[in-house]
Structure 1
Amino acid sequence: MSQPGTLILIMAIAVLAPLLAYGLRRRLSVPLVIFEIALGILIGPDVLGWAHHDQVIDTLSDLGLTMLIFLAGYELDFAAVRGDTLRRSISAWVISLGVGLGIAFALTGGTAAKSFVIGTALTSTALGTVLPILRDSGDLHSRFGTTVLAFGAVGEFGPVIAMALLLSGRKPGASTALLLAFAAVTAGAVFWALRPRPPWFSHIIDKTLHSSGQFAVRYVMLVLAAMLGLSHAFGLDTLLGAFAAGVITRLILRSAAPGSSTEVLGKIEAMGFGFLVPLFFIVTGIDFNLDALLDDGRPLALLLAFLLLFLLVRGTPLYLLAPRDLSRRDRTALLLHGSTCLPLVVAITTLGLDNKTITTGEAAALVGAAMVSVLVFPLLALRLRAGQAMSHPFASRPRPGASEEPW
């Protein structure tokens, strides 16, 4: 199918996916991303063969991933995750990295390059994937949701830092210096964002909010582009820049236009979740190498092994180091959400394939296990949380004004 035809097909699936999620909501609460990825596989070259994308669709998909990470950075409330919760989340990821690298070295017979790829992939959390699920379930601003955001943020960007140090091909000293330089510039940007804006800034935001000017939206896009350019200039993964842009944007809007920040965010979310983000997940399904996974029994066996390792390497430290005020069900749900991974696994395996440090079958097994984690783990976590809500009549309800619809 031609590129315009493929884009139309992708957008048709983006419309169909929430209809399917809505239709099944009374029988089974299935995360929307499940339908997007599964339908992408269905129309991909290894099943129906209807969708074949080119550079334009690849670019749109990359923008979707960027927007996903940007929104994750915006939602992170440092006032809520600082202190003990933040220390626990960092400690949990450091433990995951140590265990992951140790297991990877054992599996590969001590091959350093392949061990770095596999070990780093085992430590990631798909915060951008979990974020819309928490939002749709009404958990995003609860104590549980804030904890997932804290642990997930470290699990999203700890691997990005590890990629820069272990997978960039540069010497560790040079990579560390670049990371520290990027961190210093980002800290300066955060300090600038906290400074009071002049009165005209908030005035023009209010005046153009419902006009073709859309100053606030354009300003947010400028911040995002600047941070992406900065991360690229430092030779770092652009996901790090996208997350930093989300944090900075939140600080700017909350200080300069507190009355309009929610509406501005709604416009950005409409752009992201209405177009770019579903396109990324659908293209991920289209790109999945099903033939390599089914070529012989080894990739399938590796898929199951990697799926269990996600729970062991990433999930177990989350359960053990979760805040003590969380119930056992919530800690298990945190384990499942934290073990959900996909975007960074795709990025890490792509680097491994480009450097020829892992095989196509190994990459398919890793990505396949990550996709199964997205398909299964959040659903199990939702059912656990629903069971807790039913068993505790005074359990927390969604914040006032939040939609009770699951999508």
Structure 2
Amino acid sequence: MTASDFGLVLIPLLAVAAPLLARGIRPVLRVPIIVFELVLGILFSPAVLGWVEPSQVLDKLSDFGLAMLFFMAGNEIDFRAVTGKPLVRASFGWVLSLALGIAVGFLIAPDEGMVVIGIALSSTALGTLMPILRDARELDTPFGKVVTTIGAVGEFLPLIAVSIFLSTRKTPVAAAILLTFVILAGAVILIARRAPHGRLHAVVRATLHTSEQFGVRFVLLLIAGLVGLSVVLDLDMLLGAFVAGAVWRIIMARAPKPDAEAIESKIEAIAFGLLVPIFFLYTGVTFDLDLLIASPVALAMVPLFLIALLVIRGAAAQLSAPSGASVRERTAIGMLAATGLPIIVAVTAIGVDEKILDPAMAAALVGAGMLSVLAFPLIAMTLRGDRARLDAVERDLPLGEL
């Protein structure tokens, strides 16, 4: 058995170990499962134990996991709650973040490299935060809605920026192609909103507990179709995955609640039980720790990039914080807004492939993104002070009995 074949066996083992470790430490510290997935990936990577080697199969599965992560992010967003002033404030905050990020990039990398750094530092990992907010029962709270709005903007607009500024085509052409995608995606969303879904819901319901599983197959087709459209138009595939999630939410909005919950459970099982863990584990496996350690300058940039993420995204997030929010709540919102990894991984890979970003600097950015995922959500949710409420929920106790 080769090292790559062994990795195909070991990755599922690590995916099983991660939630066991997370639940084992939970009585002492509530650590997001993503932390364990990243750490385990690094631990078994070629840079440390060397038990898991990068392979083409794992690489493709990781891409599917990243696409599924963005699909779930799009599927979780209640677009009625992110319109109006909250959306305007979050968008203005992102533009400010991008400008500050490019300013930081100007000091580090020339030409288009500073744009890569700027986009990376302006991103928020909504797909990473959604499971954390869901597990904390925060999605429907004012706090959760603010974070969701900031995250939706911080995940969607960087994809737009990547498609315009880092496309292989010239900027006006790239903008025209992006506009074409927006029009086509808008048409799909309009059709999904206005078309009757009764027959579709009936087929989904009829196949929920059969081998046909029409609902799951339809989701995979939807993702493949919109991701394929993105690739054909030379846009980032994550743009299509995000829109696919939004379309599916619209399609299932009028479905009977039990059916919607059942199919949602199946999709979550595929996403968070299979594909998304592979992405985070493989991100740890492919993290070039040796390159980072070999470059003292890049290694020194990791904490600086981490601070830049916190200052740039955390400060911009204050524009969206609810009026009257406490210092603890504002700090928690800022830290969650500064949590970034998936887009950082994607945009730095483009920068390295196009030879506009030094690989060591890309490793430093990814390292900072990983540290943000490791530290910021943990600190933010601790500041949020939900420990007692979550323990009550898990024990099925009324909060009044605490």
Q: SS state of the match for residue 49, structure 1?
A: coil
For 1:2-53, what per-residue CA distance to the aligned partner results, in whole angstroms no more than 9, with x for missing partners?
Answer: 3332111011010001011001001111110000000100000000011113
Q: SS state of the match for residue 273, structure 2?
A: helix
- Matched ranges for 1:80-99 at <5 A: 80-99=81-100
Q: SS state of the match for residue 78, structure 1?
A: coil
Say if 1:186 and 1:244, in contact at 8 Å, map to a contact too: yes
- Matched ranges for 1:230-309 at <5 A: 230-309=229-308
Q: SS state of the match for residue 79, structure 1?
A: coil
The Cα shift of 1:229 comes to 1.1
In structure 2, the residue matched to 1:359 is 358
For 1:219-272, what per-residue CA distance to the aligned partner results, in whole angstroms no more than 9, with x for missing partners?
Answer: 121111111111112111010000100000010011245441111111000011
In structure 2, the residue matched to 1:77 is 78
In structure 1, the residue matched to 2:399 is none
Count of matched residue positions in the alignment of Structure 1 and Structure 2? 394
Q: Tell me the percent identity.
A: 45
- Matched ranges for 1:4-403 at <5 A: 4-108=5-109, 111-197=110-196, 199-386=198-385
Q: Which runs of 5+ in 2 are unaligned?
A: 397-402
In structure 2, the residue matched to 1:393 is none
In structure 1, give the amino acid aligned to 2:269. Answer: A
Say if 2:42 and 2:284, in contact at 8 Å, map to a contact too: yes
Say if 2:18 and 2:36, in contact at 8 Å, map to a contact too: yes
The Cα shift of 1:198 comes to 5.4
TM value normalised by structure 1: 0.93
| CA distance in 1 between partners of 2:44 and 2:3 (Å) | 14
| CA distance in 2 between partners of 1:132 and 1:12 (Å) | 21
Distance 1:135 1:235, change over 3 A: same
| CA distance in 1 between partners of 2:165 and 2:232 (Å) | 19
In structure 2, give the amino acid aligned to 1:114. Answer: G
Say if 2:335 and 2:376, in contact at 8 Å, map to a contact too: yes
Q: SS state of the match for residue 292, structure 2?
A: helix
Say if 2:45 and 2:284, in contact at 8 Å, map to a contact too: yes
In structure 2, give the amino acid aligned to 1:335. Answer: G
In structure 2, give the amino acid aligned to 1:140. Answer: L
| CA distance in 2 between partners of 1:198 and 1:375 (Å) | 41
In structure 1, give the amino acid aligned to 2:368. Answer: A
In structure 2, the residue matched to 1:394 is none
In structure 1, give the amino acid aligned to 2:231. Answer: H
Say if 1:125 and 1:340, in contact at 8 Å, map to a contact too: yes
| CA distance in 1 between partners of 2:243 and 2:45 (Å) | 33
The Cα shift of 1:404 comes to 6.4
| CA distance in 2 between partners of 1:218 and 1:91 (Å) | 38
In structure 2, give the amino acid aligned to 1:299. Answer: A
| CA distance in 1 between partners of 2:368 and 2:204 (Å) | 44
Say if 1:196 and 1:255, in contact at 8 Å, map to a contact too: no
| CA distance in 2 between partners of 1:215 and 1:362 (Å) | 45
For 1:116-142, what per-residue CA distance to the aligned partner results, in whole angstroms no more than 9, with x for missing partners?
Answer: 111111101111111111111111221
TM value normalised by structure 2: 0.94
In structure 2, give the amino acid aligned to 1:100. Answer: G
Q: SS state of the match for residue 344, structure 1?
A: helix
| CA distance in 2 between partners of 1:241 and 1:57 (Å) | 21
Q: SS state of the match for residue 254, structure 2?
A: helix
| CA distance in 1 between partners of 2:120 and 2:161 (Å) | 10
The Cα shift of 1:325 comes to 4.8
Which stretch has the larger CA shift, 265-274 or 310-319? 310-319
Q: What is the root-mean-square deviation in Å for CA atoms of aligned residues? A: 1.8
| CA distance in 1 between partners of 2:53 and 2:71 (Å) | 27
In structure 1, give the amino acid aligned to 2:111. Answer: A
In structure 2, give the amino acid aligned to 1:27. Answer: V
